[in-house]
Amino acid sequence: MRIKKFLLLTHSFLLVFLMAAVFKPSVFYWLLIPINSILFILSYRIVNLKPGRSFLKYLILPILFVNSCFFYGSLLPDRLLFTLLLFFSVMLLFYYYRSAVKYCFIESDRRKNLPFWSNLFGFLTVFLASSFVYGLPYFINVHNWLLLLILVPVLFVSFFHNLSVEKKTIQTDLFFSFFFLFSIFPLLWSLFLMPFNYNVLGLIVSLFYYSGLNFTVFYLNKELTTKKIRYNLIFIGLFLLLILLGAKWK
């Protein structure tokens, strides 16, 4: 089967199973099996498009993204919002996989489309996953350290994935990924004590994730200038101020 038809077919099935979670909540968790099976088949198919070269590291993030959408949507009180979230997640996923296919075969595409989609998926995955984690205490009584066991791997994989797109050594990617986790861990823990809505907390985590990734990429590419540091810090400060001013308290 041609890859374009394969992508359309598998994403159609994926959308059906995701919509079933909205209209049939009793099988919500069982649907994770076919959903993740489809994602695995998609990734396996694309990885094997180019024998002798592994693109698996570029295909882990969309699996995290879809699962983050799925669980975050379970916190939404409005069925329509949940439906729209899942619909747009499938659309974004289609463009990501299409970009991954182009990455395999089109040389000029390798420094353009896939890095863009990787950054976007990383930011959205971190926002959705962290919002879900900080929203869980609204519904169940769970220890904070257990919630961090969910969030920390998501942050690590997202950060490592986006560094790997920059084509550095795996040792460099691992070092800076662990360094980022070590730096952001106190923030992750302290946010449990903040009196803000879980969406606000998710935005704060994703903002620091995005800024940490930007500074790391600039540094590795020897582009970390005073001008870029200043402009990024101004952007982060203004965006954080807007978040806090418009935040809803618990």
How confident is the model over 117-135, as pLDDT tens digits? 788 888 999 999 999 999 8
The answer to whether residues 159 and 99 belong to one domain is: no
Flag whether 191 is in a domain.
yes
Say if residue 3 is in the same domain as residue 105.
Answer: yes
Q: Model confidence over 11-41: pLDDT tens digits? A: 888 888 888 888 887 787 888 888 888 888 8
Q: Are residues 168 and 241 in the same domain?
A: yes
What is the pLDDT at residue 11? 86
Report pLDDT for 128.
Answer: 93
Q: Which of 110, 134, 158 is the last residue of a domain?
A: 110
Q: Last residue of a domain, which of 91, 110, 129?
A: 110
90 in a structural domain: yes
Instruction: Give the structural domain span for 15.
Output: 1-110
Render 58-127 in DSSP notation, one character per residue.
GSSHHHHHHHHHHHHHTT-S-HHHHHHHHHHHHHHHHHHHHHHHHHHH-GGGTTTHHHHHHHHHHHHHHH
Q: How is residue 249 written in tokens?
A: 């308290």
Q: What is the pLDDT of residue 105?
A: 59
Does residue 234 sit within a domain? yes
Question: What does the pLDDT look like over 215-244, one tens digit per residue?
Answer: 888 888 887 777 777 777 787 778 777 777
Q: Total domain count for the chain?
A: 2
